[in-house]
Amino acid sequence: MEVYLGIDVGSVTTKFAVLDEEDQLLHALYLRTQGKPIAMVQQGLRQIATKLPGDAHIRGVGTTGSARHLAGVIVSADVIKNEITSHAVAALHYIPEVRTVIDIGGQDSKIIMIRDGMFTDFGMNTVCAAGTGSFLDQQASRLNIRIEEFGNRALQSKKPVRIAGRCTVFAESDMLHKQQMGHRVEDIIYGLCQALVRNYLNSVGLGKEILPPIVFQGGVAFNRGMVRALEEALESKVIVPPHHEVMGAIGAALLAHEEMAIRGNGTRFKGFAVADANFGTSFFECKACPHICQIAQISLNGRLLARWGGRCDMWERAASG
């Protein structure tokens, strides 16, 4: 059995997806990154290795996410793609007629516009936490509610209160004020969902033509309150696809499958033994020009493998040479 592995390494979560030759999902894995991307990639590889059938052979590997280059070096990926491409490819795989992809993750959010199966535009927010999963986690904890219950509690709201959601500090202050006024927790929770949706549409979605079918993916799509708030704001049905929380990894696996079909030769993947390798990372500032880029580098047993992070490819070329 030939299979394709996709790995999506973000700041909050690390996801894995294994697809078969028909691009059906065989196995998925969802881990917390915990600020240790190398350790989580290796842990995920160990777990994936135990789940695969004995006759499974990794035919291709793709990586994506904010740490895609790091993950790509660790596993010797066949293809390394940005999050926009990977999420769009996965959305098209499950909903071919999709025209708008809304993706809200742990610490960033993005919108992708698709017309006639082609990517035409996108927007991304990696700066403000208001409107992301990490902010919802924090507020659920402050309200002493498990994040898994957050969406169901939001759906119980009858009179949601308006929360100032443009900034996390203001939102927290406003929520506390509404609690002190005696508003029901359910109304505050759903008011927060509405505020996060307003913030998303006024920042990431600003100036974008949001047309149905609309697909909502990412970990925050688990929150049914956010789905309802999006549908109300957009006055349109919002589709939450299967496996929405690992769509980036699925997209990376699909792209790996496509790459190997074109290339026709063997995968670069060195095998699951890399899960026990001793990788190290370090950083330095390049002073070759006024940009002062921070360059990341990764090594194995003291041997430099790769460098990246600059505005030009000077250090990438130096490492490959």
Q: Encode 208-239: b = buried (16+ Cβ within 10 Å), e = exposed.
A: eebeebbbbbbbbbbbbbbbbbbeebbeeebb
Only one residue has tokens 């509690």, namely: 153
CA distance 64 to 80: 6
Q: What is the pLDDT of residues 111-163, one digit of tens each?
A: 999 999 998 999 887 556 555 677 777 777 777 887 778 888 888 888 988 87
State the Cα–Cα distance between residues 175 and 191, nearest whole angstrom: 9
Query: Pick the residue with more confidence: 202 or 58?
Result: 58
- CA dist 226 and 216 (Å) reads 10
pLDDT of the residue at 307: 86
C-alpha dihedral, 30 to 36 to 41 to 43, nearest 10°? -80
Choose from 209-213, 219-223, 274-278 the range with maximum mean pLDDT.
209-213
> pTM of the entire structure?
0.87
Domains of the chain: residue spans and CATH: 2-87+248-274 (3.30.420.40), 97-240 (3.30.420.40), 280-320 (no CATH)
Query: If 0-12 CB within 10 Å is exposed, 13-18 middle and 19+ buried, where does residue 139 land?
Result: buried
Q: Please report where in the chains the tokens 């017309």 appear, as a residue.
A: 115
Listing from the earlier edge strand, what are the strands of the sheet with 109-115? 118-125, 109-115, 100-104, 214-217, 238-239
Strand-pair partners of 63: 7, 80
Would you state the pLDDT for residue 174?
76
Pairing label, strands 57-64, 2-9: parallel
Strand 279-285 with 294-300, pairing? antiparallel
Q: Is the pLDDT of residue 180 over 60?
A: yes
Residue 2's pLDDT band (boundaries 50, 70, 90)?
A: very high
The predicted pLDDT at position 264 comes to 79
Query: Greater confidence, 80 or 315?
Result: 80
Range of weakest confidence among 25-29, 103-107, 190-194, 238-242: 103-107
Q: Quote the tokens at residue 122.
A: 């996108």
Each residue's pLDDT tens digit, 250-263? 999 999 999 999 98
